[in-house]
Amino acid sequence: MDKTTIICRCEEINCEEIEEAIGHDARTFDDIKRLTRCGMGPCQAKICISLVADVIHEQTGSHLHEIPLPRMRMPISPIKLETLATNSTTFSSVKSVMDEVELEEGKVR
């Protein structure tokens, strides 16, 4: 890999950008992700995960088994919102900002 090698294809992040993040003391995939967007695209780090680990290893000397994996989250592979939606309009954990406005004797506190 040279400096211009693309590590994250989704977000077009090259090796030099990963190295710069490590220069700012980023030590894990997720640290680097939040600084550069590496791994935030549609593939969700499936392509860049081991390449980034290689760069961390080269720059810091950490062994590969010591480098934490990125946190994978649902849905793993992109799905449409309508697949998740149940079309209910009753909410419990999800709030509306208007519901949070507190009135006291008919007036805003």
Partner 1 sequence: MESSYETVVIGGGVVGNSIAYHLSERYQEGILVLDKKYPMTGTSGSTQAWVWVHNKTPSWYAEFSMYSAELYPYLSKKIGDVEYKRTGGLSPFFAEKDREKAKQLADSYRKIGIKIKVLSREEVLEKEPSINPNVAGATYSSIDGNVNPFRLIDMYMRAAKKNGVQYSTYNKVTSIEKQNGTFMVTSDKKTYVCKNLILAGGTWSRELGNLLGIDIPVNQLRGQIIVTEPLKPFLNYTISGLRQAINGEVLIGYSMEKAGFDRSTTLDVIQETANMAVHYVPSLRKAKIVRAFSGIRAMPEDGFPILGKVPGHENLYVAATHSGVTLSPLIGTLLTELILDGETSVPIDRYSLSRFA
CB-CB contact of 35 with 45 (8 Å): no
**Which C-beta is closer to partner 1: that of 61 or that of 106?**
106
Shortest spacing between CB 75 and partner 1, in angstroms: 6
Q: What is the dihedral of CA 73, 51, 4, 9, to 10 degrees?
A: -40
Distance CA(100)–CA(12), nearest Å, equals 41
**Which C-beta is closer to partner 1: that of 37 or that of 57?**
37
- Structure tokens belonging to residue 21: 């993040």
Q: Which residues bind partner 1 (CB under 8 A)?
A: 24-28, 30-31, 34-35, 37, 40-42, 44, 73-75, 78-82, 84-89, 91-98, 100-103, 106-109
- Structure tokens belonging to residue 66: 């010591």
**Which C-beta is closer to partner 1: that of 1 or that of 37?**
37
**Which C-beta is closer to partner 1: that of 20 or that of 64?**
20
| 38-52 per-residue burial string, b: 16 or more CB within 10 A, e: under 16 | bbebebbbeebbebb
Shortest spacing between CB 53 and partner 1, in angstroms: 16
Shortest spacing between CB 27 and partner 1, in angstroms: 6
